[in-house]
Chain A
Amino acid sequence: MLVAGHAAPTHADDGVVIDVNAQKKGSYPLALPAAPEGDQVAREIAQVSQFDMTVAGPFKVLDPASFLADLKKEGLEIEPQKWKDVGALGVVKYRVTATHIEFRLYEVSKGNTAVLTKMYPRSGTTTRAIVHRWANEVFKYYTGEPGFFGSKITFTAKGKKSSAIYAMDFDGNGAYAVSNNSSTNILPAFSPSGGQIAYTSFMRNNPDLYIGPAGGGRPKKISGHPGMNTGAAWSPDGTKIALTLSKDGSPDIYIINAGDGSVIKRLTNDKAIDTSPAWSPDGGSIAFVSDRNGGPQIFVTSAGGGAARQVSFNGTYNTTPTWSPKPGKKILAYTTRDGGHYDIVTLDLDTKAMTRITQNEGNNEEPAFSPNGRAIAFARAGQGVFIANADGTGKAVKVWSGSATGVDWGPAPKD
């Protein structure tokens, strides 16, 4: 039954430099530490590094069940053929001592010589925080861009009679309440430095804008005009805030001073509802939602004032725009209604290319980009906060369970 035939031998592409940016998600196979049973620190290192590299975008995290190497014998080193045989191009190794955690990154094609080595002191920090720092190094090694591991996400957690502002690590770890009142608190926005969160609270019955420490604590009222003071968006330099005020009748977009709340400029002035401003990363443009042409659509105007132009033309209902922080790009993510469901899409304003981020999975709203623009966080109605790849590939990962809305992603972590 064995048939001698003409085998066309395929040459493995071992040793070829892989440009992870040019590849689709899941393309760069990376072997990460497996979680041995019993050892708490080792388990945490395995779990956190596997989560980080899975949601990072360009990597395919290999299943440790396939590993052939004798991990104990290898220690901090690698036997390249054993990793080649499980399809790995990159391998991460580590060692924990009483005082430090040492990480090494290997490229299998370069043999048993680490291409990246880092030693992290354990005092004054957590294992989880150290793994995030290492994950940022690995991400930067392959992409040249900063990672978002260790950054924070803020959102509105809806209760039965009230809603609170929450913040947590981007992976859902360590969620805590930022607001401390039994009223309704909505639409949080991280300051560019990450130290403060602006949000609208009904604690004094009117929807006023407050700014409080991101870690929680007493907030300061910054804008308390009669009617709406909502949807705060910080300017990239942190000195100004764009928001919706309805003090002069219909809701319009204004720019106020982030320090004292004084109005600097009125950006829109019409009878329609203008709301949900978002500041472009270069500070020059503001995207917002207006129903001036019928249903709610996305418009863009200069932060200095002037005419606004409609940029969204798909469907009849588009809201909550946010800008990708990718330098040199003009990409918006927003919520669109499509066939009775709400989904997240991105729109490149230069190429007009639209990309779907969610499809056929509940109602998805209020996107926010990760600080490097690689991922998008959003709220799925009744389910929680999710993060997904900003290029539309892969599957969204739930990072917080509950009833959430108003998601915003904080700045890149400081190393």
Chain B
Amino acid sequence: MAMSSGGGDGDLNAEINVTPLVDVMLVLLIIFMITAPMMNTGVDLDLPQVSAKNIEDPEGKLVLSIDKGNRIFLGGTQVTWQDLKVKLEANERVKKESELYIEADTALPYGVVITAMAVAKNAGVAKVMMLTEAEDNLGAKLTELDQNKPK
């Protein structure tokens, strides 16, 4: 997968370059998108509204939540981004299940979510479930995006 990384005009770019991360993850990380209306980790989030596969038993899964303030919660417990890798690496449940459910606020920049996925990948997570909220009017949403007017 090749992505243009922008022109070489010498501008300093302080943002995370997610291109290599995306490349690595597409190869090595299994990603699923899942609609989970009843997931409740106590973290206040607006999830992206996209219909996806429903999981039968969302309760009790290990969930990583990211709210719009970039704050990160593992199993509902706030952790720092610095600690996240250690918390995941040392986690026996992650070692056993090799999967992690991620719910990220719909307003978050793409790079933040990808960074969380990269950390999870480094910590040994092989399968990531991206949680969404049910949405039955995809057509309207696509029209809205085409008109470049996100709500």
Contacts and interface: CB of A to CB of B under 8 A. Distances in A.
Pair from one complex: yes
A108 to B, nearest CB: 11
Interface string B116-129: 00000000000001
Nearest to B25: A1
A124 interface: no
Interface stretch (B7-15, B84-92, B143-151): B84-92
Interface string B52-81: 110111001110000000000011110100
A9 B55 CA distance: 6
Interface residues of A, number: 29
A84 B97 CA distance: 12
Contacts of A69: 77
A221 interface: no
Contacts of A60: 92
Interface centre among B22, B75, B129, B130 (most CB of A within 10 A): B75
Nearest to B114: A1
A70 B75 CA distance: 12
Interface in A1-44: 1-7, 9-12, 14, 29
A84 B89 CA distance: 16
A311 interface: no
A3 B31 contact: yes
Contacts of A10: 97, 99
B77 A66 contact: no
Interface residues of B, number: 34
A contacts with B: majority SS? loop
Most buried by B among A10, A60, A69, A82: A10
Interface string A43-86: 00000000000000000101111101110000000000110111
Among A1, A5, A62, A66, residue most surrounded by chain B Cβ atoms (within 10 Å): A66
Nearest to A3: B31
Majority secondary structure, B binding face:
mixed
Contacts of A65: 86-87, 89-90
A3 B34 CA distance: 10
A2 B33 contact: yes
B26 interface: yes
Contacts of A86: 75, 91-93
A29 B92 contact: yes
Interface string A81-105: 1101111100000000000000000
A3 B130 CA distance: 10
A66 B87 contact: yes
Given A1-B26, A4-B32, A7-B129, A66 B57 contact: no
B33 A3 contact: yes
Contact of B74 (A11, A29, A62, A85): A85
A2 B90 contact: no
A68 B34 contact: no
Given A2-B130, A4-B52, A65-B90, A85 B31 contact: no
Contact of B31 (A2, A11, A14, A68): A2
Given A5-B32, A87-B92, A87-B94, 8 more contacts: A3-B31, A4-B32, A60-B92, A63-B92, A65-B90, A66-B90, A66-B91, A87-B91
Interface of A: 1-7, 9-12, 14, 29, 60, 62-66, 68-70, 81-82, 84-88
The 6 closest A-B pairs by CB, nearest first: A87-B92, A87-B93, A85-B75, A66-B90, A63-B90, A65-B90
13 contacts: A1-B26, A2-B31, A3-B33, A4-B33, A7-B32, A9-B57, A60-B92, A65-B86, A66-B86, A81-B60, A81-B75, A86-B92, A87-B94
